[in-house]
């Protein structure tokens, strides 16, 4: 295992952490949507942290992220995309289970990396 600390400038770090808080907001919207059976809310919340977010990552941030980080981060955004697609068809219990699986990615990466 390599170094857990990813060195970032102030601006990149602020951007990076705000995207993280947005992913937490996505999870909040997804869980509320599951609880209230609001498919549109699940879709919209999941979409926000999907491919749009990975595309929006500035090159200055992308450049410094280690390969291992990208291998956890890329699939996380893809799972948000999959969640959005599945929100249109799957039952709520299945969506909750999948959201739990998605959140394993959050846990795995948080156990591995810090920014400074």
Binding site for ligand HEC (CB under 6 A): 17, 20-21, 23-24, 27, 69, 72-73, 76, 103, 105-106, 109-110, 113-115
* Residue 13 exposed, middle or buried by CB count within 10 Å (0-12, 13-18, 19+): middle
Minimum CB distance to ligand HEC smaller for 92 or for 106: 106
The least CB distance from residue 52 to ligand HEC, in Å, is: 14
62 and 77 in contact (C-beta within 8 Å)?
A: no
The least CB distance from residue 98 to ligand HEC, in Å, is: 12
Minimum CB distance to ligand HEC smaller for 7 or for 35: 7
The least CB distance from residue 85 to ligand HEC, in Å, is: 17
40 and 49 in contact (C-beta within 8 Å)?
A: no
Nearest Cα neighbor of 42 from 34, 52, 50 is: 34
């Amino acid at each position: 295992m390599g170094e857990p600390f990813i060195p970032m400038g102030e601006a990149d770090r602020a951007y990076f952490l705000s995207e993280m808080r947005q992913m937490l907001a996505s999870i909040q919207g997804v869980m509320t949507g599951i609880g209230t059976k609001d498919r549109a809310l699940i879709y919209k919340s999941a979409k926000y942290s999907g491919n749009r977010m990975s595309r929006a990552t500035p090159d200055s941030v992308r450049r410094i992220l280690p390969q291992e980080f990208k291998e956890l981060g890329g699939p996380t955004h893809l799972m948000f995309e999959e969640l959005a697609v599945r929100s249109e068809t799957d039952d709520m219990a299945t969506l909750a289970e999948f959201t739990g699986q998605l959140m394993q990615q959050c846990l795995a990466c948080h156990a591995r990396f810090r920014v400074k």
